[in-house]
Structure 1
Amino acid sequence: MKAVHFGAGNIGRGFIGQLLVDARCELTFADVNDTLIEQMKQADAYTVHYAEPEHRQFTVSPFSALHSVHDAEALTEALRGSDLITTAVGATVLKHLAPAVAKGLLARPADAPPAAVIACENAVGGTDLLASHIKELVTDAEWEDIQSRAVFANAAVDRIVPVQKLEEPLDVLVEPFYEWTVDASAFSVDPPAVEGIHYVENLDAYIERKLFTVNTGHAAASYIGARRGYETVQQAMQDGDVETAVRQVLAETGRLLREKYGFDAGDHETYIDTTVERFKNPELTDGITRVARQPLKKLGAGERLVSPAVQLLSRGEQVPALARVIAAATFYDHAEDEEAVEMQQRIEAEGRIGMLQNWTGLESGHPLFKAVEEALPSVRQ
Structure 2
Amino acid sequence: MLAVHFGAGNIGRGFIGSLLSQSGYEVVFVDVNTEVVQRLQEKREYRVVIAGETNEEQLIRNVSALHSETQHEEVVELITKADLVTTAVGPNVLPLLSSTIAEGLRQRLAVNRNPVHVIACENMIGGSGFLKKHVFEHLSEEEKAAVDTYYSFPNCAVDRIVPNQKNDDPLMVIVEPFFEWVIETKHIVGDAPSIVGAHFVNELQPYIERKLFTVNTGHAIASYLGYYKKLSTINEAMEDDDIRADVVKALHESGRVLIKKYGWNPEEHQAYIEKIVQRFTNPAITDEVTRVARSPIRKLGANDRLISPAKQYYELFQEVPQGLVKGIAALLLFDYKEDGEAEELQKTIKELGIEGALLKYSQLEHDHPLVQEIKKQVHIFSTCDTSKHVKG
Shift of 1:10: 1.5
Which residue of 299, 319, 332 corresponds with 1:330?
332
Secondary structure of the residue that 1:315 maps to in structure 2? helix
Shift of 1:42: 0.7
Partners of 1:114 and 1:148 within 8 A in 2 = no
2: CA distance between counterparts of 1:206 and 1:270?
15
State the shift of 1:377 in Å.
7.2
Give the match for residue 64 of structure 1: 64
* Structure 2 match to 1:244: 245
Question: Could you say what secondary structure the match of 1:186 adopts?
Answer: coil
- Provide the residue aligned with 1:366 in structure 2: 368
Of the structure 1 ranges 128-137 and 275-284, higher mean CA displacement relative to structure 2 is found in: 128-137
Classify 1:300/1:66 alpha carbon distance in 2 versus 1 (closer, same or farther; 3 Å): closer
The residue that corresponds to 2:103 in the other structure is 103
By how many angstroms is 1:358 displaced? 6.2
1:277 and 2:289 are equivalent in the alignment: no
Q: Does 1:122 align with 2:123?
A: yes
Tell whether the 8 Å contact from 2:48 to 2:58 is kept in structure 1 after alignment: yes
SS at match of 1:27: strand
TM-score, normalisation: structure 2 = 0.88
Provide Cα deviations, 1:82-134, integer angstroms capped at 9, x if missing partner: 21111122233333333333333334466743111111122222222222222
Give the aligned residue type for 1:364.
H
Do the aligned residues in 1 keep the contact of 2:332 with 2:378 (CA within 8 Å)?
A: no
1:58-81: CA deviations, max 9, x gaps?
000122323334444443443222
What TM-score results when the alignment is normalised by the length of structure 1? 0.90
Partner SS state of residue 151, structure 1: coil
Q: CA deviation at 1:345?
A: 4.9
For the Cα contact (< 8 Å) 2:86–2:120, is it kept in 1? yes
Q: Which structure 2 segments of 5+ residues have no match?
A: 386-392
Q: Name 2:42's counterpart in structure 1.
A: 42
In 2, Cα distance between equivalents of 1:191 and 1:304: 29
Q: CA deviation at 1:19?
A: 0.3
Distance 1:183 1:293 in 2: 28
For each residue in 1:131-167, what CA deviation from the matched residue of structure 2 results, as whole angstroms up to 9, or x when unmatched?
2222222222222332233111111212121112211
Q: Structure 1 residue 255: deviation in Å?
A: 0.4
CA 1:372 to 1:185, structure 2 compared with 1: closer, same or farther past 3 Å?
Answer: same
Partner of 2:87: 87
Q: Which amino acid aligns with 2:293?
A: A
> Within 2, Cα distance between the matches of 1:356 and 1:92?
21
> Which SS does the other structure have where 1:180 is aligned?
strand
> Is 1:9 paired with 2:9?
yes
**Paired positions, count:** 381
Q: What secondary structure, in the 3-state scheme, does the structure 2 residue paired with 1:253 have?
A: helix
User: How far apart in 2 are the matches of 1:267 and 1:145?
Assistant: 43
* CA–CA distance in structure 1, aligned partners of residues 98 and 375 of structure 2: 47
Contact 2:150 2:189 in 1 (8 A): no
Distance 1:334 1:143 in 2: 43
Deviation, 1:16, is: 0.7
Q: Distance in 2 between matches of 1:11 and 1:272?
A: 23
Task: Determine helix, strand or coil for the equivalent of 1:152.
Answer: coil
Contact 1:296 1:340 in 2 (8 A): yes
Give the Å deviation of 1:235: 0.3
How far apart, CA to CA, are the structure 2 residues paired with 1:233 and 1:273? 16
Q: Secondary structure at the match of 2:27?
A: strand
> Which residue identity lines up with residue 43 of structure 2 in the other structure?
A
Query: How many angstroms apart in 2 are the aligned matches of 1:270 and 1:113?
Result: 42
Report SS of the residue matched to 1:28. Answer: strand
CA distance in 2 between counterparts of 1:36 and 1:203 reads 33
Q: CA deviation at 1:347?
A: 4.7
Whether contact under 8 Å (1:324, 1:378) holds in the other structure is: no
Please give the alpha-carbon distance, in whole angstroms, between the structure 2 residues aligned to 1:343 and 1:95. Answer: 24
| CA separation of 1:254 and 1:16: change in aligned 2, threshold 3 A | same
Structure 1 position 5, deviation (Å): 1.4
* CA distance in structure 1 between the aligned counterparts of 2:341 and 2:100, rounded to whole angstroms: 35
Moved more, 349-358 or 299-308: 349-358
Corresponding residue of 2:388: none
| 8 A Cα contact 1:106 1:145, kept in partner | no
SS in 2 for 1:286: coil
Q: 3-state DSSP class of the match of 1:102?
A: helix
The answer for the alignment partner of 2:33 in structure 1 is: 33
Task: Quote the residue 1:186 is aligned against.
Answer: 187
Computed over aligned residues only, the root mean square deviation of the Cα atoms, in angstroms, reads 2.5
Match of 2:21 in 1: 21
Query: Do the aligned partners of residues 199 and 374 (structure 1) sit closer, same or farther apart at CA in structure 2, a change above 3 Å counting?
Result: same
Gaps of 5+ in 1: none
- Stretch moving more, 360-369 or 283-292: 360-369
* Aligned twin of 1:300: 301
Amino acid at match of 2:335: D
Q: Distance in 2 between matches of 1:351 and 1:125?
A: 31
CA contact (8 A) 1:80 1:105 kept: yes
Tell me if structure 1 keeps the 8 A contact 2:85–2:119.
yes
Other structure's SS at 2:278 match: helix
